[in-house]
Chains A and B, each alone.
Chain A
């Protein structure tokens, strides 16, 4: 079924085992974090009773766990495909994994043994001011865990940079900018994966560095509050810059799977063109400039920053998102594609990514934000592009690389659980958005009676998502040992 044979890099047992570790761990963590998410929705729906301190611990672990694993899982997609074009180091990829695990253990310890519950955004000075609920050590443990995870990612991006520079000599050429500005004739064989990876390494290195700065400052402030003081507005800017860039970078890494796999399923090539390169070039800046939309309700921010936040949010959607989705639709239209689990997930991911951006952009309008900020509208839009955009990319990738020749046909099960996942997600997302429209605050452990019915419907959706995910998880784990993880068809 493939059109152009991709040159596969030397696959050693080590590299496929490392990928195995990434895929299995990521799926397990995703599943566990979903259980935490479902528990929160059950609690808000008054279906079960969970004490507020536990609820906020679950909120913290769910946020940190999901964002972290989204980054880790996506980086395995980038690694897998980028390796076909540049020479990446498997050991460093493995080091990233080990540091991630250490960080996760620290975070889990801080939350479940240290009672830390300041949410994954650790907004200064909350980690230091728990009113006696958690200690400074617990806070330092959590922040330190995040920091170690960040170091792992930085090492990984350093290796990516080294490898890309070795082949393309500079980032300018790797992004294909010489075809835009240099007057060089476009080389259609320039891989989209390289363009995307270059953009990601730039933005995410900056994002993680900003995160590291505020993490270190917060840790120092815990122990030396008189010597290290932090401006809370600066802290907010750094935190949201880091958080925004990091989660967006995850999607930009994962979308490489769509560029590489959708052509196989449609038997049509996805080549770079000038618009594609322009889009990625613009997004590099846009994605970093839009973060003030998290600070629209901080009136002390300079007005120009809020104006940039709003206008860039509207413009940010156009480059990569629209160009990619339009490209995907063009590829699929009248292609005679065979719809199986993987191709459906790939196509769904394009829908979810764009659709989820719609309520996001609307909320980035200051006058809307005045009544929607920090309501359930916000988890509504980001679960939209995470559950129906990012995760389908991750699942499709995992299913693809674990394909084996002697596969049992599970078409009916595939269809049932795919539907469970899809419709469950729509219910979960829809109820978040409707609750947001009803002004229900986000991050509330206990809901007023008026808000409970919506959360109960949400709980049904959450359960369906969990079941769908469990199926993907089992399906992949059952065959991952047999699969060579070098699947190319």
Chain B
């Protein structure tokens, strides 16, 4: 759903822009005085820019109210917690089974270079991700809705076998 929405919004704005450019392209064959054209178009400009800035600012701020990234420090212990460590070129997880419908905390780090920890479902749709870095731990919290075998793909280029750096995580049906 989220992926489709992202695509839809992008395509929508690109389509509007395309329409404007195509129209201006074809409408340019007739020559008019510059002054009236300029006055007319510059007349729209403040309204258009104000609208876009307000919309942009609104979306930018609005999507941050519920901050999309989990708190990193000073949090209460989470029951389902997994330590994830990236190595060239494999993942080590201290636990590979979790239950659905309860938050899972991933404490992600790396033993060597930068890796990216991407969680994919059985249909190869990515649900979330976080970077795995040397010397730092990134805390990622995710609640799985659907049980199944999830794939953990490396999402940061880490050398010659980067694309082979895949592990699995089993999500069991929610506890009664």
**CB < 8 Å neighbour of A336 from B31, B57, B137:** B31
Interchain CB contact under 8 A, A233 and B7: no
Determine whether B17 belongs to the interface, using a CB cutoff of 8 Å to chain A. yes
A181 to chain B, nearest CB (A): 21
**B69 to chain A: which residues have CB within 8 Å?**
299, 303, 306, 366
Determine whether B29 belongs to the interface, using a CB cutoff of 8 Å to chain A. yes
Complex interface: stretch among A97-105, A311-319, A455-463, A481-489: A311-319
Complex interface: stretch among A65-73, A137-145, A249-257, A435-443: A435-443
Interchain CB contact under 8 A, B17 and A358: yes
Determine whether B28 belongs to the interface, using a CB cutoff of 8 Å to chain A. yes
Interchain CB contact under 8 A, B31 and A443: no
A121 to chain B, nearest CB (A): 8
**B21 to chain A: which residues have CB within 8 Å?**
329, 347, 350-351
Interchain CB contact under 8 A, B70 and A299: yes
In Å, the complex CA distance between A442 and B57 comes to: 29
Interchain CB contact under 8 A, B113 and A125: yes
- List residues of A (125-145) whose CB comes within 8 Å of B's CBs: 125-126, 129-131, 133
Determine whether B10 belongs to the interface, using a CB cutoff of 8 Å to chain A. yes
Interchain CB contact under 8 A, A126 and B163: no
- List residues of B (26-80) whose CB comes within 8 Å of A's CBs: 27-32, 34, 37-38, 41-42, 45, 48-49, 52-53, 56-57, 59-61, 63-64, 67-70, 72
Determine whether B130 belongs to the interface, using a CB cutoff of 8 Å to chain A. yes
Interchain CB contact under 8 A, B14 and A358: yes
A315-B112 contact in complex given A335-B34, A362-B6, A443-B162, C-beta closer than 8 Å: no
B38 to chain A, nearest CB (A): 6
**B9 to chain A: which residues have CB within 8 Å?**
362
A238 to chain B, nearest CB (A): 14
- List residues of A (422-439) whose CB comes within 8 Å of B's CBs: 433-434, 437-439
Determine whether A453 belongs to the interface, using a CB cutoff of 8 Å to chain B. no
Interchain CB contact under 8 A, B129 and A334: no
- List residues of A (111-127) whose CB comes within 8 Å of B's CBs: 117-119, 123, 125-126
Determine whether B169 belongs to the interface, using a CB cutoff of 8 Å to chain A. no
In Å, the complex CA distance between A388 and B172 comes to: 47
A300-B34 contact in complex given A131-B160, A365-B63, C-beta closer than 8 Å: no
Which 8 A-B residue pairs are closest in the complex by CB-CB distance? A336-B31, A439-B126, A314-B60, A334-B32, A299-B138, A367-B68, A444-B163, A300-B136
Q: List 5 A-B contacts (CB under 8 A).
A: A236-B133, A300-B137, A303-B67, A334-B31, A443-B162
